[in-house]
């Protein structure tokens, strides 16, 4: 019996679920011990390896997270907001590290994580890649250096199946810009411009979302001044960057005290 940490993947058939299964399998640093999908999904009761188009691996996909979580040390969860809150409660009961990549969570969803984090490690980030987490730090620094005469706009592009906007990454970047500028994002955010909108509010942080084709994820932070513009950009071309970050977080969480963490903690940025 291996002593590598046992990992459960929720949303196993999803774009990120399948990528996570590959990355965990290839890593040699963890064991894949469970796979969860929503009730009614075709994969329930079937062998995960076969569903992924390979040889049987003995992991049977289940819609019972409690069953999957028993005997695991961590759950990596890229699903949907309501599902993530439900998984957080079960992961806390089982004292598992819960790595949350799910975006589109409201304040009400996020508030429900705090009691869970009293019992277990939660690592949550709208983007698990090294590049984007570095970009948040750069964004904060630039926003600190420039005054409010420089308009800040976050422009993001994603594939045509994405259901939430602005993206979790765009919100992280907006938060970083707001922090650098010493303002609250909630009171200074502008998005969804259409029609006679009036002039841009001075000092606002704007958000624009593009959806199309198979774009993995692209984010620009535009600082627009008088006579010059500065653009910080991240382009993701492979979902493996998110999966590698999530696996790193799951392993990092193994010896940490219960609490809510993000990828800056994991990466030491």
Ligand X SMILES: NC(=O)C1=CN([C@@H]2O[C@H](COP(=O)(O)OP(=O)(O)OC[C@H]3O[C@@H](n4cnc5c(N)ncnc54)[C@H](O)[C@@H]3O)[C@@H](O)[C@H]2O)C=CC1
Binding site per annotation, positions: 11-16, 37-38, 101-103, 125-128, 159, 168-169
Is residue 22 at the binding interface for ligand X, with CB under 6 A as the rule? no
CB of 256 to ligand X, least distance (A): 19
The residue within the footprint of ligand LZUJQKHR, chosen from 6, 11, 126, 206 (CB under 6 A), is 126
Q: Among the residues of the chain, which ranges form H helices?
A: 15-27, 48-51, 65-69, 81-93, 107-111, 113-116, 130-145, 168-181, 240-252, 263-267
* Strand partners for 219: 156, 234
Q: Select the binding partner of residue 158 from ligand X, ligand LZUJQKHR, none (C-beta < 5 to 8 A, by kind).
A: ligand LZUJQKHR
Instruction: Give exposure, 195-223, as e/b (b: 16+ Cβ within 10 Å).
Output: eeeeeeeeebbbbbbeeeeebbbbbbbbb
CA distances for 94 relative to 73, 80, 112, 143, angstroms: 9, 21, 17, 41
Between 46 and 211, whose beta carbon lies closer to ligand LZUJQKHR? 211
Between 13 and 188, whose beta carbon lies closer to ligand X? 13
Is residue 158 at the binding interface for ligand LZUJQKHR, with CB under 6 A as the rule? yes
Residues forming contacts to ligand X in the complex (CB under 6 A) are 10-11, 13-17, 36-38, 41, 78-80, 83, 101-104, 125-128, 168, 242
């Amino acid at each position: 019996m291996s002593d590598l940490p046992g990992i459960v993947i929720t949303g196993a058939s999803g774009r990120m679920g399948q990528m996570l299964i590959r990355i965990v399998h290839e890593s040699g640093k963890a064991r894949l011990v469970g796979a969860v999908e929503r009730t009614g999904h075709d994969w329930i009761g079937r062998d995960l390896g076969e569903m992924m188009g390979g040889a049987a691996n003995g992991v049977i996909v289940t819609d019972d997270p409690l069953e999957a979580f028993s005997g695991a040390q961590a759950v990596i969860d890229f699903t949907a907001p309501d599902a993530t809150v439900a998984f957080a409660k079960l992961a806390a009961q089982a004292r598992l590290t819960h790595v949350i990549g799910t975006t589109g969570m409201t304040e009400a969803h996020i508030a429900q994580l705090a009691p869970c984090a009293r019992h277990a490690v939660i690592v949550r980030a709208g983007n698990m890649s090294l590049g984007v987490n570095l970009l948040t730090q750069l964004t904060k620094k630039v926003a600190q250096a420039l005054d409010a005469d420089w308009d800040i706009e976050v422009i993001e592009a994603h594939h045509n199946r994405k259901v939430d906007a602005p993206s979790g990454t765009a919100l992280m970047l907006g938060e970083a810009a707001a922090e650098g500028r010493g303002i609250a994002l909630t009171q200074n955010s502008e998005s969804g411009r259409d029609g006679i909108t009036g002039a841009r509010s001075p000092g606002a942080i704007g958000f624009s979302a593009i959806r199309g084709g198979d774009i993995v994820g692209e984010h620009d932070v535009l600082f627009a001044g008088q006579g010059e513009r500065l653009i910080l950009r991240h382009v993701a071309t492979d979902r493996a960057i998110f999966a590698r970050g999530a696996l790193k977080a799951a392993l990092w969480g193994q010896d940490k005290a219960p609490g809510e963490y993000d990828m800056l903690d994991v990466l030491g940025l």
